[in-house]
Amino acid sequence: MKRPRIDEKLTLLADFGETEAICVEVLDNPSTEEGILLKVMARGPFEQGQQIWIVDRDGSKIGAAVENVFKQTIDSEVTLSTVLPA
């Protein structure tokens, strides 16, 4: 999986099922050398500390942790912490 771009659609898989997300911001994660923080807009009952999967187009999965959830109407702004393979 390559580094997502702004406005790119992502598929997230959590314990409540699969949901679509739109990437709104991509940042380097200062707490891990190769990590990134993804801010996405998504629907679902996300909780801080929750473990989820980002599903790539080829079906492969990358693990991510929910760092922060900010609720805005129906959608939530969710910050995900992950490390993408080189």
CB contact at 8 A, 20 and 11? yes
Q: How far is it, in rounded angstroms, from Cα 86 to Cα 75? A: 31
Q: Return the structure tokens found at 13.
A: 């898989």
Give me the pLDDT at residue 40, please: 96
Confidence of residue 84 (pLDDT cuts 50, 70, 90): confident
CB contact at 8 A, 39 and 1? no
Q: Tell me whether residue 3 is in a domain.
A: no
pLDDT surpasses 80 at 83: yes
Range of the domain at 61: 9-83
Residue with tokens 């314990």: 15
Q: Tell me whether residue 18 is in a domain.
A: yes
Q: Tell me whether residue 50 is in a domain.
A: yes
Q: Tell me whether residue 23 is in a domain.
A: yes
Confidence of residue 7 (pLDDT cuts 50, 70, 90): very high
Q: Residue 17 half-sphere exposure, CB side, CA atoms within 13 Å?
A: 4
26-79 per-position pLDDT tens digit: 998 888 888 899 999 999 899 999 999 999 888 899 999 999 999 877 889 999
Would the pTM of this model clear 0.85, i.e. be above it? Answer: yes
